């Protein structure tokens, strides 16, 4: 079985909550051990390749899990990198459900001030939001 198919098949066995936990654990501890990963491809692309093979129902669960992961990861100071990775992933899989939350973050000086590397995080959020604004679908 191809790597991408293996990963998609695995993700389809998970509930939305379990996908959220996989993303949070994976991005916080660099621990995606359940997935087959190439050492030459970054994790965002690996997840995107698997996402493309998911059923429509599982694609929506994956998108919602990204949203849930963002909400859970944001308030903590040590989670700036996780927030950026989840924002990038949301753009790759067209998770429009995160738009309002990312807008709220971008407008909240208090939330972003609590993050390490505030400027970089703000730049990523703004880039992702601009990407969603440019999409026609």
- pLDDT tens, per residue, the chain with 137 residues: 799 999 999 999 999 999 999 999 999 888 999 999 999 999 999 999 999 999 999 999 999 999 999 998 866 655 788 888 999 999 999 999 999 999 988 887 666 666 666 677 788 888 999 988 887 65
Dist. CA 117–CA 114, nearest whole Å: 9
pLDDT score for 80:
81
Q: Are 52 and 11 in contact (CB under 8 A)?
A: no
pLDDT score for 107:
84
pLDDT score for 119:
74
Domain boundaries of the chain, sorted by first residue: 3-134
- CA dihedral (22, 28, 113, 127) in degrees, to 10, reads -60
Q: Are 96 and 132 in contact (CB under 8 A)?
A: yes
pLDDT score for 108:
77
């Amino acid at each position: 079985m191809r790597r991408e198919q293996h990963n998609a098949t695995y993700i389809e066995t998970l509930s939305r909550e379990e996908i959220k936990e996989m993303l949070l654990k994976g991005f916080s501890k660099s621990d995606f051990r359940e997935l087959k990963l190439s050492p030459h491809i970054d994790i965002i692309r690996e997840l995107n390749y698997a996402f493309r093979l998911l059923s429509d129902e599982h694609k929506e669960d994956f998108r919602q899990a990204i949203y849930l992961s963002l909400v859970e990861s944001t308030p903590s100071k040590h989670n700036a990198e996780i927030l950026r990775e989840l924002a990038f992933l949301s753009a790759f899989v067209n998770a429009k459900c995160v738009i309002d939350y990312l807008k709220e973050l971008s407008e909240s000086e208090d939330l972003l001030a609590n993050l390490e590397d505030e400027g970089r995080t703000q730049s990523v959020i703004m880039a992702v939001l601009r990407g969603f604004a440019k999409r026609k679908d």
